Structure formats: C-alpha cells, structure tokens
C-alpha cells in the first residue's frame, strides 16, 4: 500500500491498537484477538521480545487481509529501518527523532512521531509527519488538542496513553483524527482472557465509528 493510502486509511479507521506485552507468543495471540474484534490497524511495540519476528510473522499471516501492521516505540532510524524490512507499513514513536522521520520519508513509509509541544508538532510537520502521536495523552487531556489547533489548525493528532472507551468521545470531540489504545484494550490478556480482548476491541470499534462518519 502506498504511503498516502496508509495515512488516509488510518485517519479513516480512527483507531490503532497498541500491542505491548511480555512474550512473542502472547503478542501473536493478542494480535489475533484484536483482529477478531475488528480493529484493522495494529502496532507492535519494540519493547515486546521478538517484536520484529512478530511483525514478520503476522505480515505473512494477514497478507491477504485488510489489516495494517505497524511498528511502535521506534526510537531511532536504525530500528525504523529494521521494522520496515520486517514488514511494518508505518512507524510510530513516543519521541520526535528527525532522523527517524528522514529514513521513513526516504523509503516512503509513514512516520507518526510523538509530540508534546507546539515546537515539536511543528518540527514534525516540517519533516513530513501527517499524523502526530500526542503522547502521553493522559498527561494533557483532550483540551490540549483544541489549544494546539489554534496555531496549528491543520495538524492531525492521534492521542495515545490512557485512552479508554470512556474518553474516546472527548478526544474526537476535541479534534483528534484517530486514537491509539494499548493497556485498556488488551488488559484481558494478562489473565489469558483473549475473548475479553476481542470484546473490548469490538466496543472500541463501535465507539470510534460514532465519530468517524
Ligand atoms: O505507546 C503507547 C502506549 O504505551 C499506549 O498507552 P496505553 O497503554 O495507556 O494505551
């Protein structure tokens, strides 16, 4: 999928599932449960042991399905390139690293860097970032998006960190283009309850659909 189509699709879907867990086996089960719940953009974070193997494996497993596999917690350009080679279709970072943006631009892969300030948001946009990961969203609350959009009306924010079913509405009403959610989505996995992960994913999809018409 071309870069612009991936960005458009994530903006249209409005939700990215974040997979952060303790083992490769659990990671793959979580991905499966999330997919069964209908979330179509799934980010494997680099803190998961064997994260690149997971990306590689699920990219192959779901190659004929309508699923966008990305890499998260990508801190530097070296990791970004490794993720791309493993099959990641987009790169998400908690931080703003210009070299990561540059390598993603070089290979025409979307990069969604983490930003906390207007300075970082503007710099990320100047280096071609179309969607900005507002992180950690829980430290600001939804009103920050309205505040940022004063000087930066065309910035696209994807709040991450502390997003739950109960605050999805507030984030979209404040102007978020998408949300990303991890621990609240996948909490069932801690006790091996992958059905709960699927049910939670379904609830997120239903909730997000109210604001993505
Ligand atoms: O980088 C993404 C975050 O770890 C996700 O935060 P969360 O688990 O609070 O949703």
| Model confidence band, residue 124 (pLDDT cutoffs 50, 70, 90) | very high
DSSP 177: S
Nearest atom within ligand 1 for CA of residue 184: 10
Is-contact 155 148, C-beta < 8 A?
A: yes
Cα distance between residue 205 and residue 200, in whole Å:
9
Judging by DSSP bridges, how do beta strands 41-45 and 15-19 pair with one another?
A: parallel
Q: Is 153 exposed, middle or buried (0-12, 13-18, 19+ CB in 10 A)?
A: exposed
pLDDT over 80 at 10, yes or no: yes
| pLDDT of 194 | 98
| pLDDT of 91 | 98
| Model confidence band, residue 159 (pLDDT cutoffs 50, 70, 90) | very high
- In sequence order, what E strands does 68-203 have? 68-72, 91-92, 111-112, 114-115, 132-134, 157-159, 179-181
Q: Which one is catalytic: 35, 40, 57, 133?
A: 133
- Say if ligand 1 is within 6 A of residue 181 CB: yes
pTM of the predicted structure, to 2 decimals: 0.97
Cα distance between residue 188 and residue 199, in whole Å:
10
Q: Which one is catalytic: 35, 43, 57, 130?
A: 43
SS3 content of the chain, % helix, strand, coil (to 5): 50, 15, 35
Backbone phi and psi for residue 97, each to the nearest 5 degrees, phi listed first: -125, 115
* 182 Cα: distance to centroid of ligand 1 (angstroms): 5
Supply the mean pLDDT for the chain: 97
């Amino acid at each position: 999928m071309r870069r612009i189509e991936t960005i458009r699709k994530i903006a249209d879907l409005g939700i990215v599932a974040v997979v952060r867990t303790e083992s490769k086996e659990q990671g793959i089960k979580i991905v499966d449960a999330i997919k069964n719940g209908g979330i179509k953009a799934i980010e494997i974070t680099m803190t998961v042991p064997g994260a690149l193997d997971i990306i590689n494996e699920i990219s192959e497993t779901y190659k004929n399905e309508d699923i966008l596999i990305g890499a998260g917690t990508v801190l530097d350009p070296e990791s970004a390139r490794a993720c791309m080679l493993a099959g990641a279709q987009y790169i998400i970072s908690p931080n703003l690293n210009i070299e990561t943006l540059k390598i993603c631009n070089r290979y025409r892969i979307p990069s969604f860097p983490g930003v906390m300030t207007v300075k970082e948001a503007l710099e990320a946009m100047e280096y071609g970032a179309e969607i900005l990961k507002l992180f950690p969203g829980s430290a600001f609350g939804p009103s920050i998006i309205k505040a940022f959009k004063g000087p930066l009306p065309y910035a696209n924010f994807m709040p991450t960190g502390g997003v739950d079913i109960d605050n999805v509405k507030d984030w979209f009403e404040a102007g978020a283009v998408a949300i990303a959610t991890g621990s609240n989505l996948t909490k069932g996995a801690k006790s091996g309850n992958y059905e709960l992960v699927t049910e939670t994913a379904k609830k997120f999809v239903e909730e997000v659909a109210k604001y993505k018409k």
